[in-house]
Chains A and B, each alone.
Chain A
Amino acid sequence: MAGSFGVGPLPDSADVVVIGGGVVGSAIARELSRFELSVVLIERSPDVATGTSKANSGILHAGFDAEPGTWKARLNVRGAALYAELAEGLGIPRKATGALVVAKDAAQMETVADLRRRGIENGVPGLEIWNTDQVVAHEPNISPEVAGALWAPSGAIVCPFLATVGFAENAIRNGVRIITECVVTGLDVAGGRVVAVQTTRGRIATRFVVNAAGLHAGDVARMAGDGSFTIKPRRGEYILFDRSVGQLVNTVLFPTPDKVSKGILVSPTVHGNVFIGPDAVDIDDPDDKETTAGGLAGIIAGARRIVPALPLGTAITEFAGLRAAAGKDFVIGPSPVTRGLVHAAGIQSPGLTSAPAIGEVIVEILGEVGLKLRPKASFVPINPEKPRFHDLDRETQARLIASDPLFGRVICRCETITEAEIVAAIQSPCGARTVDGVKRRVRAGAGRCQGGFCGPRVTAILARELGIPVTAVRKDSAGSWLFLSRAQLEAGEGIHA
């Protein structure tokens, strides 16, 4: 069965249905695609990586935070190692920056020492305690008030969007069908076993369902009569700074954590920006991604405690992300109520780091509960390389333009993104369907003008490549149309018509 991506027809049946196209669902689908199985992934948005996976810190945690023996501890360390192995082949930008947990006083130095002990127990390599001089030598912009820090050389950063797209694209290359804009409305259970998934696009018969529905995973479980856990959305706000101040910090800087969260970080991104955030606020609405004046002020104050001279004038965007918290640990394993249903839920931090390891574990569990796993001889583990024009030397750039003239047309001037890259982002197996989808894949519109110049052009390219009218181009979510025509306005139809 050939893989696919988009709003195509739902097949009548599948061996496994994965619910949720975040980084976890995509990593699971990719892991399943190693086997002779028909796998369908269902995603409610027009694109993958639109929930928790699109707005997080992009950190590959070293693994010293988690309580030894938990899923978090086990999957974090394994996941970080898997990224080191997989990232290049899947086209996932990753930088081994290392991380510092900064302590302000003697009491915090004790916490930091505890973290080191815990990290060693979890199998984290290379942990060291640094004094103030060592910290300041490594991070010249850090507050000179620091008492010391924990140095974790295996901490790294990754692009969370391209991680998700990398897994999803590879899954599609290996036969997985990803159906977008498809909302799960029910799970059919017969004799205590799941037998089908009901969706807004029809019914799909299956004996195995993986619940990777992120913030909605509790609802999905309850559709199968399983009330064993509840997801509490937790919101975190972020501020992203221009690449011109990218040299502000070299590593991921954590404050010494408290019981609720890892605190406000100051961190580089793989694309050369710097961000600050997140805070952690429990909320009720799993779609509430509003930033607040108080929240933004709070993360600025928090970040200033680590890096006093924050270049606030170079902020280019603010956003909020949601974490799907279900308790202290991930909820991973077969449903205690309904056979055939396997949960990958409550995936809060370090979920991004753990994702590929979660993929391995879920497949193992599916095998244990009866899924036949016959390795697929034709499995291709990597994605073809997609040139990033901006990062190449002049000679390679010239060669690329000679091979495809669209590499010679720069559409996004802030990030130097060419039309060829945008077309490839739309036409590749897990191709962009929205303006933000293009931004997540190739960064057109992610720079300092935030799409002021390239937004209209990207809209036009999407319309052309997808064969749809400009009025059907959306920003991100299913109902986020960008423009209407004069005829629509005159007919009083508005933007949602």
Chain B
Amino acid sequence: MREFSYDVVTIGGGPAGMAAALAAREAGAERVLILERDRELGGILQQCIHNGFGLRRFEEELTGPGYAHRYIDMVKATDIDVWLDTTVLAAEPGGVITSVSPHAGLTVVKAKSVVYAMGCRERTRGAIRTPGSRPAGVFTAGAAQRMVNMEGYLPGKEVVIVGSGDIGLIMARRMTFEGAKVKAVFEIMPYSNGLTRNIVQCLEDFDIPLYLGHSVTAIHGKDRVTGITVSQVNDRLEVIDGTAFDVACDCVLLSVGLIPENELGRAAGVALDSITSGARVDQFRETSLPGFFAAGNVLHVHDLVDWVSEEAAIAGRSAARHARGELAASGQERSVMAGEGLRTVVPQRLSPFEPGRMSVRFYFRASKPMGASLLQFWADGVLAFERKLRVVKPSEMIVADIPVRKIGDAMTLEFRVVAAPEKIDAEDEIEEEA
């Protein structure tokens, strides 16, 4: 068993792992390592061959592999070590990481700081309890995406998409390009869970119908899928009798949500947020386990990779500081809460501010769609800050910078989204606060 020492190790070589490693190296960590289980860096981006990545980060529209390769090239230009085809079995307190690979065998790495960057996994049919038979032809959208885009095989030719998550929407367009017939997308909620641009570009542009408030109540077929039964649901998501209809298809793609892949953290005792399913972190992205940071979709599911890169860089910089002993965990922590109108907020707590800090960036998900709204920041029960939002959607992350001077000495920070008293112009929406 071989043993190694590093300052910062990122577990995962997708966009979060690479951004964290680069930021750690730039922030002065000398020995940085990326552990990646796949044969190449890039993570799930490698199978996302559609465009639309990087508008924010590079001000250019890139494909997934295109975006990934910007980062891969940056990593290659440094002395960051990359171990591919390497799976981490355990990452334990004290920074002891045990991994295996076919070429290096079982290896132990001692890291001063660890960044979790394992991404997320897709919710399955079992998790949403779709009744019916269990034939071939039911895939998560991501698994199908890998087969179509990386291996060149198709999961079916008459496709139905269940759930309106972004991967499902992208796959609706992709399967159409490949010559398959995409019959419909069925979404149980009264609103879509995908980005507006994907609804437009992947469904509307191809006349693929989107049925909101519909649930798949059975999957049929013995060997291969032959069809599904769908019903309308009421506002409690219960099936409305008499609304059932059948759709013939040979393939069902599920796009019903993503779950942070936190099994390593859970095993190590990291405190998780029951709503995001990611670690509870502070503004440094440090988890409850000192020296362990979280970045990317393992922390909370992002809709844009650009945010992943940006947020992961925070974790990487913090990891470098921790490795140097500059990120002492001391002083009282403040709690951050998602109040009315919001489902999640990251970070969930604040550690004492470092010198020179001007603002803290928070990431939110709304609990329901709303029109013109106000994002409110309440410090110890006092309204301290407001920002206008033209429109609010659970599928689109809200990002806001709160000035440190507004936070002051408040111990309890609460955010809310409330209906705006008047209509808000588009200009107000992009107004940057800091």
| Interface presence of A301 (CB below 8 A) | no
Known: A397-B106, A413-B87, A482-B136. A408 touches B143 (CB 8 A): no
| Interface presence of A416 (CB below 8 A) | yes
Q: How far is the CA of A470 from the CA of B127 in the complex (A)?
A: 28
| Interface presence of A244 (CB below 8 A) | yes
Q: Are A315 and B100 in contact (CB under 8 A)?
A: no
| Interface presence of B76 (CB below 8 A) | no
A394: chain B residues at CB < 8 Å are: 1, 98, 106
Q: Are B131 and A416 in contact (CB under 8 A)?
A: no
Q: Are B136 and A480 in contact (CB under 8 A)?
A: yes
Q: How far is the CA of A291 from the CA of B133 in the complex (A)?
A: 6
Q: How far is the CA of A489 from the CA of B180 in the complex (A)?
A: 8
Listed residue (A295, A479, A496) with the most chain B CB atoms within 10 angstroms of its CB: A479
Q: Are B142 and A244 in contact (CB under 8 A)?
A: no
Q: Are B250 and A495 in contact (CB under 8 A)?
A: yes
Residue interface bits A477-497, CB-to-B below 8 A is 1, else 0 = 111111111100110001110
| Interface presence of A128 (CB below 8 A) | no
Q: Are A316 and B132 in contact (CB under 8 A)?
A: no
| Interface presence of A95 (CB below 8 A) | no
| Interface presence of A450 (CB below 8 A) | yes
Q: How far is the CA of A489 from the CA of B139 in the complex (A)?
A: 18
A471: chain B residues at CB < 8 Å are: 153
A315: chain B residues at CB < 8 Å are: 126-127, 129
B261: chain A residues at CB < 8 Å are: 413
Q: How far is the CA of A449 from the CA of B37 in the complex (A)?
A: 16
| Interface presence of A296 (CB below 8 A) | yes
Q: Are B37 and A470 in contact (CB under 8 A)?
A: no
CB distance from A312 to the nearest CB of B (A): 8
Name the one of B104, B154, B223, B239 contacting A483, with C-beta atoms under 8 angstroms: B154
Known: A289-B134, A449-B124, A452-B124. A470 touches B153 (CB 8 A): yes
Residue interface bits B12-39, CB-to-A below 8 A is 1, else 0 = 0000000000000000000000000100
| Interface presence of B156 (CB below 8 A) | yes
| Interface presence of A405 (CB below 8 A) | yes
Q: Are B102 and A451 in contact (CB under 8 A)?
A: no
Name the one of B87, B103, B105, B136 contacting A475, with C-beta atoms under 8 angstroms: B136
Residue tally, chain A, CB below 8 Å to B? 65
CB distance from B295 to the nearest CB of A (A): 18
Known: A398-B105, A475-B135. A495 touches B122 (CB 8 A): no
Q: Are A290 and B136 in contact (CB under 8 A)?
A: no
Query: Closest residue of chain A to B127, judged by CB?
Result: A315
Query: Closest residue of chain A to B88, judged by CB?
Result: A410
CB distance from B127 to the nearest CB of A (A): 6
Known: A408-B105, A410-B100. A316 touches B126 (CB 8 A): yes
B135: chain A residues at CB < 8 Å are: 475, 480
Q: How far is the CA of A288 from the CA of B131 in the complex (A)?
A: 13
Q: Are B87 and A405 in contact (CB under 8 A)?
A: no
Q: How far is the CA of A289 from the CA of B222 in the complex (A)?
A: 8
Listed residue (B87, B143, B239, B250) with the most chain A CB atoms within 10 angstroms of its CB: B143
| Interface presence of A1 (CB below 8 A) | no
Q: Are A485 and B131 in contact (CB under 8 A)?
A: no
Q: Are A456 and B146 in contact (CB under 8 A)?
A: yes
For this complex, into which size category does the number of interface residues on chain B fall?
Answer: 35 or more
Q: How far is the CA of A470 from the CA of B157 in the complex (A)?
A: 16
CB distance from A397 to the nearest CB of B (A): 6
A495: chain B residues at CB < 8 Å are: 137, 156-157, 224, 250
B89: chain A residues at CB < 8 Å are: 410, 416
Chain A contact residues: over half helix, strand or loop, or mixed?
A: mixed
Chain B contact residues: over half helix, strand or loop, or mixed?
A: mixed
Known: A449-B121, A452-B122. A481 touches B155 (CB 8 A): no
Query: Closest residue of chain B to A240, judged by CB?
Result: B126
| Interface presence of B59 (CB below 8 A) | no
Q: How far is the CA of A490 from the CA of B180 in the complex (A)?
A: 9
CB distance from B417 to the nearest CB of A (A): 25
Q: Are A290 and B106 in contact (CB under 8 A)?
A: no
A296: chain B residues at CB < 8 Å are: 129, 131
Q: Are B87 and A406 in contact (CB under 8 A)?
A: no
Query: Closest residue of chain A to B1, judged by CB?
Result: A398
Residue interface bits A455-480, CB-to-B below 8 A is 1, else 0 = 11001100000000011001111111
A317: chain B residues at CB < 8 Å are: 124-126
Name the one of A319, A449, A459, A480 contacting B122, with C-beta atoms under 8 angstroms: A449
| Interface presence of B218 (CB below 8 A) | yes
Name the one of B103, B124, B133 contacting A316, with C-beta atoms under 8 angstroms: B124
| Interface presence of B355 (CB below 8 A) | no
Q: How far is the CA of A230 from the CA of B134 in the complex (A)?
A: 27
Q: How far is the CA of A450 from the CA of B259 in the complex (A)?
A: 13
CB distance from B87 to the nearest CB of A (A): 4
| Interface presence of B152 (CB below 8 A) | yes
Known: A315-B127, A398-B105, A483-B154. A451 touches B143 (CB 8 A): yes
| Interface presence of B147 (CB below 8 A) | yes
B178: chain A residues at CB < 8 Å are: 486, 489
Give the residues from 363 to 408 in chain A that come closer than 8 angstroms, CB to CB, to chain B: 394-395, 397-398, 401-402, 405-408
Q: Are A489 and B151 in contact (CB under 8 A)?
A: no
Query: Closest residue of chain B to A416, judged by CB?
Result: B89
| Interface presence of B242 (CB below 8 A) | no
Query: Closest residue of chain A to B128, judged by CB?
Result: A315
| Interface presence of B412 (CB below 8 A) | no
CB distance from B84 to the nearest CB of A (A): 11
Known: A413-B37, A486-B178, A494-B250. A453 touches B153 (CB 8 A): no
CB distance from B416 to the nearest CB of A (A): 26
| Interface presence of B5 (CB below 8 A) | no
Q: How far is the CA of A191 from the CA of B300 in the complex (A)?
A: 74
| Interface presence of A262 (CB below 8 A) | no
Q: How far is the CA of A413 from the CA of B133 in the complex (A)?
A: 26
B121: chain A residues at CB < 8 Å are: 448-449, 452-453
Q: Are B106 and A316 in contact (CB under 8 A)?
A: no
| Interface presence of A88 (CB below 8 A) | no
Q: Are A408 and B126 in contact (CB under 8 A)?
A: no
A117: chain B residues at CB < 8 Å are: none
CB distance from A395 to the nearest CB of B (A): 8
Q: How far is the CA of A317 from the CA of B121 in the complex (A)?
A: 15
A410: chain B residues at CB < 8 Å are: 37, 87, 89, 100
Q: How far is the CA of A395 from the CA of B98 in the complex (A)?
A: 12
Q: Are B143 and A453 in contact (CB under 8 A)?
A: yes
Q: Are B224 and A290 in contact (CB under 8 A)?
A: no
Query: Closest residue of chain A to B158, judged by CB?
Result: A494
B85: chain A residues at CB < 8 Å are: 409
Q: Are A484 and B136 in contact (CB under 8 A)?
A: no
Known: A244-B266, A481-B136, A486-B179. A408 touches B100 (CB 8 A): yes
A482: chain B residues at CB < 8 Å are: 136-137, 155
B134: chain A residues at CB < 8 Å are: 289, 319
| Interface presence of A292 (CB below 8 A) | yes
| Interface presence of B376 (CB below 8 A) | no
Query: Closest residue of chain A to B261, judged by CB?
Result: A413
Residue interface bits A222-244, CB-to-B below 8 A is 1, else 0 = 00000000000000000110001
Q: Are A483 and B147 in contact (CB under 8 A)?
A: yes
Would you list the 3 A-B pairs with minimal beta carbon distance, nearest first? A479-B223, A317-B126, A475-B136
29 contacts between A and B (CB under 8 A): A239-B129, A289-B134, A290-B218, A292-B218, A296-B131, A316-B124, A316-B126, A316-B127, A394-B1, A394-B106, A401-B102, A405-B103, A406-B102, A408-B104, A409-B100, A409-B102, A410-B37, A413-B263, A419-B102, A449-B121, A453-B121, A479-B222, A479-B223, A480-B223, A485-B154, A486-B154, A489-B157, A489-B179, A495-B224
